[in-house]
């Protein structure tokens, strides 16, 4: 095309924009308070090639012939449950002590690799996608994807929903896979039925109550375990149902999606529990754009970061030690106790990056968060920290030379959770039920210690043994209660024969947690539970119900990479495959540019079941001055539209082009053809039949 023709096309495009009103003021950006606590440009800035990490990980974990300690990490399972068809099984951790596997990990690895550009349907002669269809659970008519084909339902919403989310993502990218269409509709039908059983009424417009722990599909009723709720199930169910609506056009699925978002709209407390809430934020933005709804996206996005939920689940912010370590997702519980997880960090990006396509008011905030998260996430890996700030550096150096397997998590300070390792002795009384294993995790599975009748009255003396990590301080935590008229004292000593130091007393029938920093040296700890108060036998013997015992061992090493698997006896290392499998999300979304610190984020890489779209990239400039960024638009002439500025950045460019981003600002670049009519449809701007700007009304 000659220069005159270029000018004619450019003038035509600009005239069309002026006629439909797209040369408007820029869309006002909304600040997310937690993200504002993060640095614009984290220091030190060290960006990994996340696509390479994802491909290295995929090559390692899907290799049946990989040699080394605890390798390979993949196994064949010929009969995974109700289907009777083979699947592949990935270890949950490196050095996994179980023959079991988790569907979340296996499907996450296929979905993640696909996002990073790996074709898992035809990889070295293997079709991993077809194997994924075999995880579907038809036993007892469940017709669901669960974390294991033999799992029951009614234990945990997120474990029983997230596998179906991952399956749906795989089906979206491989829609011709045998039997997946049937499974997709059956899954949507089952969760629609669950919505109805939780109170949803189509004609009456009644919204289901999602404020439960889980849903039991055998008895068709919600479940409450009395310990925690997972009401952000509303977000995942809404996401699943809307994807089914987009795919099939069946109105009942749209109704269920609206139920889920309406529940979140009306919720007064943040229900974020593990990984599901970002799905709701994304879907609220998308349905506002596509369905003309008016959900409060800002509230839901804030809930993904601000740790206002009961678990204090949100994003890290600030320095850990000498390193900027913002943007990681996990537990934000105290000044020193922050604990971020690889899976949760990668997974949150899969929803929030495509969200900005539908609501560009969040472009700057999400761009800034992703810069921090992508920089900080290198610390999940062995090559990101010195050997004395991680638990298993030696294994990684020997068996993972590219450092592509992440630790399960990263703590702000070195923290090890030490657990009781044995019931050492019951000198008086008896264990009425349970063992020391029931003292692991606060879930109301009790070890019950009961008094015995003796000549001196009632007596109970029970001693546990625990191994201590070598650390600067140790804090004992016990959760328990008692019945009857007796009170029970917990004390501690470095030797089983004492002398014992009093820690605290339990004298209530209500569950109570108590903690105390211990004055103890050495690597062994003995805990004694004994009754106090009654000198003579009267009435029935009392019992001490122990729900949880743990010791938090800490030092000043910050940050520190590790996990829960070694201390809990689940595996020989803390390298978590179940989190590492999601690195493909970063691998598919993140690319660097010619300007260090300015990333190119692909907003389509994880935008599932989306309408036809042109390439869309988010850029955030963290610098205090404008910077010029290069973009490769391909060999054919293209225009580049900025959905934030509501105008075209570039017209009639090919190959490498460049544009300027203002200081501390974002650009949402849509690479469009040069031909086609620019026109409006309601609140959307299109070229032909393809939306280039959803243009939500500024707030």
User: Is there a single domain that holds both residue 164 and residue 216?
Assistant: yes
The pLDDT of residue 415 is 84
pLDDT digits (tens, 9 = 90+) for 348-385: 999 999 999 999 999 999 999 999 999 999 999 999 99
pLDDT digits (tens, 9 = 90+) for 377-406: 999 999 999 999 999 999 999 999 999 999
The pLDDT of residue 3 is 41
Assess whether pLDDT exceeds 60 at residue 217.
Answer: yes
Quick check: is 567 in a domain?
A: no
Cα 165 to Cα 112: distance, rounded to the nearest angstrom:
13
Residue range(s) defining the domain that contains residue 619: 3-30+611-693
CB 207, CB 262: distance < 8 Å: yes
Cα 653 to Cα 211: distance, rounded to the nearest angstrom:
52
Counting Cα atoms < 13 Å in the Cβ hemisphere of 625 gives 2
Quick check: is 628 in a domain?
A: yes
The pLDDT of residue 537 is 52
User: Is there a single domain that holds both residue 269 and residue 143?
Assistant: yes
Cα 288 to Cα 290: distance, rounded to the nearest angstrom:
6
The pLDDT of residue 336 is 58
Cα 544 to Cα 591: distance, rounded to the nearest angstrom:
57
Report the domain count for the chain: 3
Q: What is the CATH number of the domain that holds 478?
A: 2.60.120.260
The pLDDT of residue 134 is 92
Residue 15: count other Cβ atoms within 10 Å of its Cβ: 11
Quick check: is 148 in a domain?
A: yes
pLDDT digits (tens, 9 = 90+) for 308-354: 998 999 999 999 999 999 999 999 976 557 999 999 999 999 999 99
What φ, ψ does residue 652 adopt, rounded to 5°? 55, 55
Cα 20 to Cα 252: distance, rounded to the nearest angstrom:
35
Tell me the mean pLDDT in the region 57-77: 96
Residue 450's DSSP bridge partners are 430, 543
User: Is there a single domain that holds both residue 406 and residue 423?
Assistant: no
Quick check: is 598 in a domain?
A: no
User: Is there a single domain that holds both residue 70 and residue 182?
Assistant: yes
Residue 89's DSSP bridge partners are 75
User: Is there a single domain that holds both residue 409 and residue 421?
Assistant: no
Q: Name the nearest CA neighbour of 254 among 216, 286, 217.
A: 286
Cα 96 to Cα 111: distance, rounded to the nearest angstrom:
22
Alpha helices for 529-641 (secondary structure H):
565-568, 577-580, 583-589
CA-to-CA separations, 520 to 440, 513, 516, 517, in angstroms, rounded: 22, 21, 12, 9
User: Is there a single domain that holds both residue 436 and residue 404?
Assistant: no
Q: What is the CATH number of the domain that holds 387?
A: 1.50.10
User: Is there a single domain that holds both residue 14 and residue 71?
Assistant: no
The pLDDT of residue 538 is 62
This prediction has a pTM of 0.88
pLDDT class for 10, splitting at 50, 70, 90?
very low
Quick check: is 208 in a domain?
A: yes
Quick check: is 599 in a domain?
A: no
Tell me the mean pLDDT in the region 219-231: 95
> To the nearest whole percent, how much of the chain has pLDDT over 90?
81
The pLDDT of residue 79 is 61
Tell me the mean pLDDT in the region 562-587: 95
User: Is there a single domain that holds both residue 534 and residue 683?
Assistant: no
User: Is there a single domain that holds both residue 308 and residue 396?
Assistant: yes
* Dihedral, 338, 340, 345, 347 alpha carbons, nearest 10: -110
User: Is there a single domain that holds both residue 184 and residue 109?
Assistant: yes
Quick check: is 187 in a domain?
A: yes
pLDDT digits (tens, 9 = 90+) for 243-269: 999 999 999 999 999 999 999 999 999
Assess whether pLDDT exceeds 70 at residue 12.
Answer: no
> 426: which 2 tokens?
């019951």
Question: Where is 410: in which H helix or E strand?
Answer: strand 409-411
Lowest mean pLDDT segment, chosen from 414-418, 440-444, 450-454, 564-568: 440-444
Q: What is the CATH number of the domain that holds 632?
A: 2.60.40
Burial class (CB in 10 A: 0-12, 13-18, 19+), 444: middle
User: Is there a single domain that holds both residue 330 and residue 431?
Assistant: no
Quick check: is 122 in a domain?
A: yes
Tell me the mean pLDDT in the region 178-192: 96
Q: Mean pLDDT for the chain?
A: 92
């Amino acid at each position: 095309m000659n220069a005159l023709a270029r000018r004619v096309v450019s003038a035509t495009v600009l005239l069309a924009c002026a006629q439909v009103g797209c040369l408007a003021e820029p869309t006002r950006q909304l600040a997310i308070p937690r993200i504002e606590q993060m640095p614009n440009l984290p220091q030190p800035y060290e960006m990994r090639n996340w696509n390479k990490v994802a491909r290295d990980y995929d090559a390692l974990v899907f290799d049946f012939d990989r040699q080394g300690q605890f390798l390979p990490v993949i196994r064949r399972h010929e009969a995974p449950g109700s289907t009777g068809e083979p699947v592949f099984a990935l270890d949950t951790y490196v050095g996994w002590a179980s023959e079991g596997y988790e569907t979340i990990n296996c499907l996450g690895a296929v979905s993640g690799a696909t996002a990073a550009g790996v074709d898992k349907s035809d990889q070295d002669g293997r079709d991993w996608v077809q194997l994924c269809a075999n995880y579907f659970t038809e036993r007892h008519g469940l017709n669901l994807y669960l974390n294991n084909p033999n799992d029951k339902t009614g234990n945990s919403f997120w474990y029983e929903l997230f596998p179906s989310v991952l399956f749906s993502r795989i089906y979206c990218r491989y829609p011709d896979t045998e039997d997946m269409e049937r499974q997709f509709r059956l899954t949507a039908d089952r969760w629609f039925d669950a919505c109805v059983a939780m109170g949803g009424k189509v004609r009456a417009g009644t919204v289901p109550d999602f404020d439960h722990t889980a849903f039991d599909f055998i008895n068709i009723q919600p479940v409450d375990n009395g310990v925690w709720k997972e009401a952000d199930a509303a977000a995942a169910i809404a996401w699943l149902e809307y994807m089914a609506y987009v795919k099939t056009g069946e109105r009942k699925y749209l109704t269920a999606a609206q139920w889920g978002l309406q529940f979140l709209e009306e919720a007064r407390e943040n229900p974020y529990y593990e990984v599901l809430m970002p799905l709701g934020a994304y879907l609220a933005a998308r349905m506002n754009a596509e369905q003309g709804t008016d959900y409060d996206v800002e509230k839901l996005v804030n809930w993904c970061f601000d740790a206002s939920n009961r678990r204090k689940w949100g994003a890290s912010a600030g320095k850990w030690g000498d390193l900027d370590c913002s943007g990681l997702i996990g537990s934000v519980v105290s000044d020193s106790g922050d604990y971020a997880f690889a899976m949760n960090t990668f997974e949150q990006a899969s929803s929030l990056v495509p969200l900005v396509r539908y609501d560009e008011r969040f472009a700057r905030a999400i761009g800034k968060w992703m810069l921090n998260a992508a920089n900080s996430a290198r610390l999940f890996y062995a090559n990101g920290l010195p050997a004395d700030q991680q638990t298993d550096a030696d294994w990684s150096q020997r068996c993972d030379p590219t450092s592509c397997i992440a630790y399960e998590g990263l703590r702000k300070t070195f923290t090890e959770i030490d657990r009781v390792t044995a019931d050492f002795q019951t000198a008086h009384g008896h264990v009425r039920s349970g063992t020391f294993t029931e003292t692991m995790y606060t879930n109301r599975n009790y070890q019950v210690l009961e008094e015995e009748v003796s000549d001196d009255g009632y007596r109970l003396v029970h001693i546990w043994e625990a191994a201590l990590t070598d650390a600067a301080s140790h804090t004992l935590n016990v959760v328990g209660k008692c019945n009857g008229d007796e009170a029970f004292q917990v004390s501690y000593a470095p030797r089983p024969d004492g002398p014992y130091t009093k820690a605290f007393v339990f004298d209530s029938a209500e569950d109570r947690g108590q903690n105390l920093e211990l004055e103890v040296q050495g690597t062994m700890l003995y805990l004694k539970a004994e009754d106090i108060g009654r000198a003579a036998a009267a009435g029935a013997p009392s019992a001490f119900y122990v729900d949880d015992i743990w010791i938090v061992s800490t030092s000043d090493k910050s940050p520190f990479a590790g996990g829960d698997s070694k201390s809990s006896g689940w595996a020989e290392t803390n390298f978590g495959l179940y989190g590492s499998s999601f690195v493909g999300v970063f691998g598919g979304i993140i690319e660097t540019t010619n300007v260090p610190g300015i990333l190119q984020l692909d907003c389509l890489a994880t935008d599932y079941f989306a309408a036809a779209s042109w390439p869309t990239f988010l850029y955030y400039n963290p610098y205090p001055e404008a910077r010029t960024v290069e973009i490769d638009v391909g060999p054919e002439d293209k225009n580049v539209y900025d959905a934030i500025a509501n105008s075209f950045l570039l017209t009639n460019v090919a190959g490498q082009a460049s544009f300027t981003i203002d200081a501390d600002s974002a650009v949402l670049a849509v690479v469009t053809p040069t031909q086609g009519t620019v026109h409006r449809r309601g609140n959307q701007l299109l070229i032909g039949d393809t939306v280039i700007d959803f243009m939500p009304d500024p707030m």
